Structure 1
Amino acid sequence: MSMPSVLAVAMVFFMIPGGVLSDMRGTQGLEAQQLAQGSTHLHRRLKRGWIWKQLFVPEEDPTPRVIGQLKSDSDQGESFIKYILSGEGAGDVFEINEYTGEIRTLKKLDREEKAFYVLQAQAINRWSNEPEEPQSEFIITVQDINDNVPQFQNEPYVSSIPEMCPIGTTVAQVTATDADDPMFGNNAKLIYSILQGEPYFSVEPKTGIIVTSWQNMDREAREQYQVVVQVKDMLGLSGGYSSSTTVTVSLTDVNDNGPTFQQHLYTFAVPENAAIGTTVGRIMAEDGDTGINAKMTYSLEGELEESTFIIKTDPATQEGVILLAKPLDFEVKRRFDMTAEAVNDHVDTRFLSLDDFTDRTTVKVIVKDEDEPPVFLSPVYEWKLPENAAVGTVVGSVSARDTDTVNNPIRYSVDKRSDITKAFKIDPNNGTITVAKSLDRETAAWHNVTVEAKETSKENSQTGFSILDINDNVPRLARDYQPYICEGTQAGELIQLLSAVDPDDPVEGHHFYFSMVPEKRINPNFTIRDNQDNTAGIVARRSTFTRKDRTQYLLPVVVADSGSPVLSGTSTLTISVCSCQPAGHCPTGGVEALALSMGVSLQTLLGILFCLVEVKELELPETVSQKVFYYGESGVGGGELDFCQPTVPMRPHPRRRERRMRREDVRASIRMSLRESHLIGPEDEVFKQFILDRLAEADQDPYALPFDYLQIYAYEGSGSPTGSLSSLDSSTLESDQSVCSPRPSLARLTPWYGAREEDTLF
């Protein structure tokens, strides 16, 4: 039996079981099925088939490796079959083992560069070069890994939305792509998130649509936002790649602001001889909007003002320009008071009511007097007289008057150019015209004479000049106010009444306007109520002021005058929060704080200071002339200091004790006693015994100091409701006499520490 017959028998035997290989043999499957069913063509030569699995190679793998095997079902391992590979990448990307059919990679592959390769395989008989299998085509697929960063498309992103738009308004959509395989795993599954722009904006994670998430975004507060959006692959899981982009979002304007005049009063001055069409002044109502939403129309309201003045809107600046429409006369009307109104041309009631699109202010126009020429009672005078009228004959009189309020005297004269013959003359004071020389009708039947009238000051009058005031001083508060608010103050209560002064002297008198600083008009704590009478009040807006929360508030106050131009000044007031006494009095902050920090009352400190001054002034070597301060039950207010008569004579001091103490030590001991006094109460046994011992020692010592000796009290006890040591406000101490009662008994004595200048102070 020849070799081919043996192979054919082996092939038939290999294909019979179960038909398993028939699915992998391509076109030979049908023949194998027929053979398994007992076909009558058993001696027919069958086509052999290829055996292989689907081939994959991971991208970016630099290591050469076997990725699969091609095999003919006629290959029994005798190595007589030779495998040949051709097609895309054959030889440089892939190679095949001609004996085994194993396919190996030769270099790193990139799926994004080429996702698959189409190759052809051939199996031939190594000895006869005859094909054992027909040439077959197969595909090697490059398997994706996550090696690409997602990239945003169509950058940069710029968008605009109207201000005050509702939550959920679509702003923009950002789109990113990933070069990885979208069909393989999560490598190209993208998810979006906000890195910057919250809480104003949010993004839909899967679509990249950005929407608003904040209500009432105000363009006047902030016009532009930078929203940073991040995209991540792998559905945002760790290990993925990410990139970001910036979306510039601008707010477009809507009409959510009405016009607002910054001045309560505009004052202008115009001369009475101003021409029609003269610009009297400009007023301005500010509008936070822009473009068409900021356009406004001005109008004037008043008794005669509609015909005397008109107002037009300057399209470039949106100012109201007041123009003169009729001649003025200072002697007829000297001042015009008008109301100017500004109204938005385009209103949007979605955001404001109709009234909010209108604002009003007061306009005052003062007419300035001008020196006008005299006016003749009649513009033309005509007289007839005989030609033989004698020289000196009165022809007639002309009369003119000064229309100004000063009513200056008038002097008359004949224009020499109008009477070349000089036939007439005029009295300069009363305007009487007389014949100056003989007349001849035949020579001149008519004489046209032009008379001039001029104002002149009265004879022997003095000429004075007054300096006209201009508004060149800034108004200010009338004094250095130091307002305070009690802890129990209720909302709406008046805290401080303000007034103002201004060195200027306007003709119409001062008129001041009080207000908050424009950029801080809404103050949660206080408001300023303008009384429209040159005064204003600071009013509390809430009822929760406590020193524990805050001890001081700063309140800027703007004071504006009514001059032209309007000047204003800002003063910052410091409002202190006080735990006020029953009468509403707020103690001085500095001394009060010092006393509280030492545990001693204000009156105690004053008493100690007074004592130190007394000790310093008296330096008598042998006698001591000092005053005794003690608490008596008959003092004012109970437990307060008694000032009493008569004067107790001093006892001589025959000797000095050996133990001396410097004045600095005395002061240090006083300070120490003050620090420690609050630790010892009147019920303390040590304290009581100390008082008894000191009193007994003083009574038995023949050399004790006189009764008018200074006793320093470091503890007051519960006798005084104010907690002070003594009151120094009720009397003035005289340096040459004692102010004390006789030495008190123990029953009347409030606990104290006593000391002489030479003694040690306990």
Structure 2
Amino acid sequence: MDCYALLPLLIVSSVMGCYATEDAQTKRPCLEMRSPNATQHVAHRRFRRGWIWKQFFVPEEDPAPQIIGELKSDFDKGDLSIMYLLSGEGAGDVFEIDEYTGKIRTLRKLDREEKAFYTLRAQAINRKNNQPIEPESEFIVKVQDINDNMPQFQNEPYMSIIPEMSPTGTTVMQVTATDADDPQYGNNAKLIYSILQGEPYFSVEPKTGIIVTSLPDMDREAREKYFVIVQVKDMMGLSGGYSATTTVTVSLSDVNDNGPIFQHNLYSFGVAESAPVGTTVGRIKADDSDVGVNARMNYSLEEKEGSDTFHIRTDPVTQEGIILLAKTLDYEAKRQFFLAAEAWNDHVDTRFLSYDEFRDRTNLKIVVEDVDEPPVFLLEVYDWKIHENAALGTSVGTVSARDSDTANNPVRYSIEKDTDVKKMWKIDPNNGTIIVAKPLDRESRAWHNLTVTATETRQNGLSSFVLVFIKVLDVNDNAPQFSREHHPYICEGVQSGELVDLISAVDEDEEEEGHQFYFTLVPEKRINPNFTLRDNQDNTASILTRRSSFTRQDRHQYLLPIVIADSGVPPLSSTTTLTIIVCSCHPTGHCPAGGVEAFALTMGLSIQTLIGVLVCLLMATVLSILMLAVRRRKKKQQGESKEDESKPDPWEASEKVLRYMEPGAEVDSGASPPVPLRPHPRRKGRQQWRAEVAASIRMSLRQSYNVGPEDEVFRQFIQDRLYEADHDPYAPPFDCLRTYAFEGMGSSAGSLSSLESSTSEQSPERPRDQGMPFMRLTLWHGGKEEETHF
């Protein structure tokens, strides 16, 4: 018996089992009845009662309405006193119950795939007292499946790729179909697969849907794609069932099972003899049925003459062999070439072919085509040398060109105008000899670059050109000169043997091993009483003093002619006269004008300079006269106010002694004694001390004019001057009266004199400002400037 037939009995027994048992002590049924109007529970003893079931299965897709079963209580006597009620899933919508008879019927068609079963509840109620006769009971209505759904393939479309030449039984892919019918009921959802199209190349497993190959050696080059139609049927493939189909596209991937093959045994090409290197001569290609990496080609050339005039490379896109020109061609020398070309695959698969089967050979014939060519020079570049003193008409060299064609036309030569500067060169148009047309000067131009053209003499003849480089060689034709302009000077009182100036020379000529210069005085003045010249043997010379006691009163300048000779062949020399100025140098040893006095003496002063000097002198004279007049006026006023002309003048400074006192004060025995000023050193003693200063210090001063403040020579010069000032006993500061001036009558600032305190004690009632002149005195004392008002 089918298990579905027992299901109603199981449901009925589970629902009605409650009435088959009673409490052993109280003998009450397991269901208690309660009236809605009762105030307490009333237990009723009764015998076993139960529902009467008829049918609870509904086939899907059955027409409605249709009675599917009946619910009836065993209390029902047929007097219509019991009312049956139905609730739960689908009650009133899918199912309804006859409240008098308990019969259940459907209201519409049922679909198992939409809902496989419904859970309902039934209840029997006494119409008279509206009390339940039977307890509410739950039951299930199951929808029976029928084969009303056809199978459907999943994950379409199906595509697969397998290598060509795959062995039999190679898995292609698996197709899968599903059926919405109940797989647990009958054979409605049991599927079987089969192939409608694709045999004998492919087959399918009936139950799994796995597609495999049925034939070996499927060749991609013969057929690249296969379309396999697979059918699926339910009901185990029996008649009356549903079926569906799908298409599987099977593509064969390529393997290297074919070698390259040339379609011709001989390929012919032509190339002009004037073609430049790298010109494409032609293309060849070996056919290969494979694709992708399996069809990649390599080519090689083998020239029977072994000249390597051509080479071949592979075009990565078309896999063609491109034949290129590797050397220049000459129709007159060789008119055709015979070569052998070979092609082979990059990727070799020995499962299908041997190594020899992956190669193929063919022959090439390349014909050289004649072209009218321009003349050809024997050399690519001409490089010549000639001395700058070469005479006009001297031959520099000869260029030569010939017509390489079989006609061998004569050629004529010419020099391009833009390269023949000032027509310094000429060329013989017939033989190509270049000669000197104008004098040469290496110092003006050391290299001459010419472009020589050779042209065929026939009508519309072709031309070619060549570069000619001419280097002009140096000869010793320039005398040496001073490397810079010199303005030497010496200080008055300079010592013998001191360095006046350091001279050097330059030469425009070119020496391979460098120049060597020689410095001397002119022969008639080799023995100079004032100066001597010392050649330092390093292309420099030193001018030294031979005596001392140079003074401007005796002579303000000296002329010193110097001869400079070079080491050329033949040697050349030049004479230059230096003007040495005698200068009144500063105590530090340098000339105030820095050598400018030399220009003033030799070149003279300009009118503007003379006017400026005269104006300055005139202004200074006027100021001096005014100051003298003011001082005389003050003295006159002071003389009239004196009571006793015999008293010493308080402003008198005699014999470098300053008497410092307030006007009107008397000089008595208690006054301070006069303070003598520190005597100014005499020039003779100062010159004697200066003689002890090293000559190199004074020379460093001269060199410092040509350097900046950051230069080492400049810093050393400053340090030497500081040391000289600190240790010079004759240098300032020494006490001296510097300046004084009349500033008017009286001052609101009061007296600043250091003598005011003592004077005030002697004359406490003396007024400060009653017509007394107010003076300012500036002194140098102990190296410091002091200003005193009184």
Normalised TM-score (structure 1): 0.48
Higher percent of residues as strand: 2
Larger CA Rg, structure 1 vs 2: 2
Normalised TM-score (structure 2): 0.46
Greater RCO, 1 or 2 (C-alpha within 8 Å, sep 6+): 1
